Amino acid sequence: MKTFLFFDDWMIQHRHGLERRWHQAQRWPGVERAQDPLLRRSFMFSKVEYDSDAKTWRMWASGLKKGTRGDYKGSSIYLYESCDGLNWQPYERTVDVGLMPHEVFAGEVSCSGGNVFDDPGAKNSQERYKLVYCDPVPDPPDIANRKQCRLATSADGVYWTAHPDRVWSGPHVDTDFPIIYNPYTRRYQWTGRTISGDRRIALYQTSDWKNFDKPEVVISPDPCDPVGLELYGMPQFYYEGYFLGFLWKFYTSDRDCHGPHRMLGSTGSELVYSFNGMNWNRTNREDIIQKPADLVDAFGSDYMTDMVVSDDPWLRIYNTYYPGEHGDFDRYDGDEQVGFLEIYRLRKDGFCSLDTVADRGVVAIRPVLARSGSITINGVTGRFGKIRAELRTVPHDTPIPGYELENAVAVEGDHHCAVLRWKDRDSITPLAGLPFRLYLELEQASVYAIRMDCDYIFEGYVHDNLAGDYQLSYRDYSKTKLSDYALGLDQ
């Protein structure tokens, strides 16, 4: 099954009367900001999963105990549980391991930047859960001999084993280190920085959790960014065949020019995307979350840390909010609690949409190779709107019999998974092995995504993904005859 999202026009043959509109996540209704009353700073770098066996939600997040400073020293990983993924309680560990009951990992000195990864494909079940983190242990001044960035593993996410010999970077590199598995490179990867003060996004990779590649810078500020912008970190996710990231942008102050690196300024999160997980594209340069109406809160800092797909029609987005700017930690009173968990929601596939500008618009998808099943769309229409579809031959660009626009059954209303139908057809199975082009006509409507079981065609080369790899076959589809479609429809 392929999902077509509209971050760009790469898979669009042509469109007119439609404009791309970017959407922002909004606070989950009825869910207040949360703090851990046992900590001074809580819910940093959160990672959320639903445990289907236990029928409960779990969240791992970094936190700082009361009495600690605002830097990375004293940071630990804490575990929380929830029945709905919205309201959280500290986990109660029954075995005393010398930590707080919900403190599951503290490192040798500290655990900075850790982000828990559940790896169901782990070869060693005792290492199903993984955590890459920085531990500011006393190190020699020679950078080449430092061993601060390490790996920890766990069988259950509660009891952890540190591996100080598995070093993925020598010096401290700061920020969040979210891990994903890349199905195209068949490697694990996480983002960070090359060194702490170089605030650009670097990619780390491994295939065996013993040998680690040298980091590569994959996103830097570009000419469209404001002067002084630094890229603080980037949680990443694999979603419907795309790689998505929340790019943390640090808007620095021009007054902050005396130290070796900047500390004053605010942060926000921009949506970025990639087809292969290594080469990333920026979007509209705007924050993906809607700023609060309260002007006092509007001057805070946001770090969007996780995105979870669940059974409801929403993407759950978890954000760490600070009421001040970066570098303000020492300005809070004593053990004043800072750092709040905020939960946002965004329509599934709702990152952006193609919307009619006025009355009517059309979009045609580049040729694809049919497999089987129905085509579905995620879309919404106005009161007097509708969406209809037509399938066209390749290369002739004529309607395929039975799939003409005049035979289409209109989609009306708000649907996350509406099946495209025609009078006598609701499937592309009769076209299996044949190329076709999908044409959509929208009237007072928006479309967020298209899904269908197909392969991509580029000059006759057939691909099963947009990463540019894994050629399946070649055929000169420019020689496809109209009689080929008639033959398929007769079967």
Candidate from 51-55, 153-157, 210-214 with smallest mean pLDDT: 51-55
Count of beta carbons in the 10 Å neighbourhood of residue 90 = 18
Q: What pLDDT is recorded for position 223?
A: 95
Confidence of residue 171 (pLDDT cuts 50, 70, 90): confident
Confidence of residue 370 (pLDDT cuts 50, 70, 90): very high
The pair of three-digit structure tokens given for residue 358, joined into one six-digit string: 């006025």
Quickly list DSSP for 367-417: PEEEEEEEEEEEEEEEEEEEEEEEEEETTT--BPTT--GGGEEPB-SEEEE
Confidence of residue 438 (pLDDT cuts 50, 70, 90): very high
For the chain, residues classed under CATH 2.60.120 are 2-21+353-490
User: What is the C-alpha to C-alpha distance for residues 237 and 402, in angstroms, rounded to an integer?
Assistant: 39
For the chain, residues classed under CATH 2.115.10.20 are 26-348
Question: Which of the pair, 313 or 470, is modelled with greater confidence?
Answer: 313
Q: What pLDDT is recorded for position 260?
A: 74
Mean pLDDT for 33-42 is 91
Confidence of residue 478 (pLDDT cuts 50, 70, 90): confident
The pair of three-digit structure tokens given for residue 119, joined into one six-digit string: 């790896």
Question: Which of the pair, 462 or 133, is modelled with greater confidence?
Answer: 133
Residue 62 C-alpha from the chain's centroid: 20
Confidence of residue 483 (pLDDT cuts 50, 70, 90): confident
User: What is the C-alpha to C-alpha distance for residues 131 and 118, in angstroms, rounded to an integer?
Assistant: 9
Phi, psi of 353 (to 5 degrees): -145, 160
Could you give the 3-state DSSP secondary structure of residue 418? strand
Q: Is the pLDDT of residue 293 over 60?
A: yes
- The mean pLDDT value of the chain amounts to 90
The pair of three-digit structure tokens given for residue 291, joined into one six-digit string: 């700023």
Q: Which helix (H) or strand (E) holds 166?
A: strand 160-169
Q: Which helix (H) or strand (E) holds 483?
A: helix 482-490
Mean pLDDT for 437-461 is 93
Q: Is the pLDDT of residue 169 over 70?
A: yes
pLDDT, one tens digit per residue, over 266-276 is 899 999 999 99
pLDDT, one tens digit per residue, over 380-417 is 999 999 999 999 999 889 999 999 999 999 999 999 99
pLDDT, one tens digit per residue, over 74-124 is 889 999 999 999 999 999 988 888 889 999 999 888 898 889 999 988 999
Closest CA to 317 of 266, 416, 246: 246
Question: Which of the pair, 248 or 73, is modelled with greater confidence?
Answer: 248
User: What is the C-alpha to C-alpha distance for residues 391 and 434, in angstroms, rounded to an integer?
Assistant: 12
Quickly list DSSP for 221-233: --TTSPTTEEEEE
Q: What pLDDT is recorded for position 297?
A: 66
Could you give the 3-state DSSP secondary structure of residue 145? helix
Q: What pLDDT is recorded for position 125?
A: 94
Angle at the Cα of 313 from the Cα atoms of 87 and 58, rounded to 5 degrees:
30
Using CB atoms within 10 Å of the CB of residue 332, give its burial: 0 to 12 exposed, 13 to 18 middle, 19+ buried.
Answer: middle
Q: What pLDDT is recorded for position 250?
A: 94
First to last CA, the chain: 23
User: What is the C-alpha to C-alpha distance for residues 176 and 107, in angstroms, rounded to an integer?
Assistant: 16
User: What is the C-alpha to C-alpha distance for residues 408 and 398, in angstroms, rounded to an integer?
Assistant: 15
Architecture of domain 26-348 in this structure: 5 Propeller (2.115)
Question: Which of the pair, 143 or 10, is modelled with greater confidence?
Answer: 10
Mean pLDDT for 26-33 is 94
Q: Is the pLDDT of residue 143 over 60?
A: no
Confidence of residue 253 (pLDDT cuts 50, 70, 90): confident
Q: Is the pLDDT of residue 423 over 70?
A: yes
CATH of 2-21+353-490, one of 1.10.10, 2.60.120, 1.10.3470, 3.30.70: 2.60.120
Candidate from 10-24, 434-448, 458-472 with smallest mean pLDDT: 458-472
What percent of the chain has a predicted confidence (pLDDT) above 90?
Answer: 69
Q: What pLDDT is recorded for position 300?
A: 82
Q: What pLDDT is recorded for position 295?
A: 58
